[in-house]
Amino acid sequence: MDAGKKRDRKLVLEDGEEYAGYAFGAEGERISEIVFNTSPVGYQEIVSDPSYTYQTVVMAYPLIGNYGIAEDDFETRTPTAGGLAVREYNGSPSNWRSVKTLGELMEDFGIPGISGIDTRRLVRSIRDRGSRLGIMTDIGTPTAEAVEKIASYTPPHDAVARVSRKKPEVYAVPDPEFHVVAVDCGMKQNIVRSLNKKRCRVTAVPFDTAAEEIEALRPDGIFLSNGPGDPTDVGPVIELVRRLRGKYPIFGICLGHQMICLAYGGSTYKLKFGHRGGNHPVRDVRTGKIEITSQNHSFAVDPESLRGTDLSVTHVNILDGTVEGVECTRDRVFSVQYHPESAPGPEDSFYLFDRFISEMRSARHA
């Protein structure tokens, strides 16, 4: 596809590793953390997932863009990903649902892309040496200059504040059975759809909404969403869990899971290269059942830090033994590190929404 075209963009990592390719998407230079995703499909959901704020995603699957962009497949209408790196970009999609190309979407939201690079080599580098900062820049930028720019860059800590909504928004359903207040830390839209399907009216609120404001909404349960960045940066939500645990059933996923663990006295750490893809096997330690899960996170919960807290581990990652789920049955609080709404199984993890419904029903009649 790029035959005869001159390479015009490159990706340089903080240690000087360099990949020359072709520009697509938005123009300009961008510094961000370089991570990889192993999913063969779902690039639109990945690019529009707020959890990729300040991150450039390297797609392990080689052909990206072939089915274009569909109106119904966004996770957020204002994508904030740092960039996208692919082996081969298809700017002529074939799909009756497509309304624009991936490159056009990225232009609209200022997301630069690079194609024509050896993504196998780059994924292997991240796997072996860990995630690192990188800069997407013009092909003519000297490598030493690019590395110097990265060295002078200070990673931001406002990722959740950047992507969280600024005012409450209600997602109504006919004849709702429950009212869920969803704390938006960068929430994917399919989470709202999943709760609506369970007859839940959802009120999505900003991440820094006070406990008193949430109580005034008279929720049946509280949901803590996914989101970008380091969970220790999101103090308001950690304090919110401390204030409201035991008063309402609370269900958290991904970043929400990490913040629940921090609220109960646990700690988190950054993984070498994170978990990002649609095929991560997770074992329910109570039943022995294996779930195939969708994941997207850089941080994990330290299992040793949970000793002596009121949380017990419910799920573990089969690949590396990391904590994938916890619960406090007394407080009706539970969480998972993965994304049950993403349906990679495709229905392996939907039971978690049913559990949330059950907890809210039990609390109502307690």
pLDDT tens-place string over residues 181-231: 999 999 999 999 999 999 999 999 999 999 999 999 999 999 999 999 999
Q: Angle at CA 233, nearest 5°, toward 230 and 235?
A: 135
Give CA–CA dist 92/239, Å, rounded.
Answer: 48
pLDDT one digit per residue (tens) for the chain, 366 residues? 566 789 999 999 999 999 999 999 999 999 999 999 999 999 999 999 999 999 999 999 999 999 999 999 999 999 999 999 999 999 999 999 999 999 999 999 999 999 999 999 999 999 999 999 999 999 999 999 999 999 999 999 999 999 999 999 999 999 999 999 999 999 999 999 999 999 999 999 999 999 999 999 999 999 999 999 999 999 999 999 999 999 999 999 999 999 999 999 999 999 999 999 999 999 999 999 999 999 999 999 999 999 999 999 999 999 999 999 999 999 999 999 999 987 766 678 889 999 999 999 999 987
Give CA–CA dist 49/42, Å, rounded.
Answer: 11
206: β partners: 184
DSSP notation for 236-273: HHHHHHHHHBTTB-EEEETHHHHHHHHHTT--EEEEEE
Architecture of domain 159-364: 3-Layer(aba) Sandwich (3.40)
CATH class of 9-151: alpha beta
| Contacts (Cβ under 8 Å, ≥6 apart) of 37 | 46, 57, 58, 59, 60, 276, 277, 296
Closest CA to 359 of 265, 196, 247, 282: 247
Task: Measure Cα distances from 186 to 205, 255, 337 in Å.
Answer: 11, 9, 15
What is the pLDDT at residue 3? 61
Place of tokens 């969803």: 182
Residue 263 near residue 245 (C-beta atoms within 8 A): yes
What is the pLDDT at residue 107? 98
Domain boundaries, the chain: 9-151, 159-364
Catalytic residues: 254, 339, 341
Closest CA to 328 of 316, 313, 340, 339: 313
Cα 360 to the chain's mean position, in Å?
26
Residue at 250: amino acid letter: I
For the record, the structure tokens of 322 come out as: 């990391």
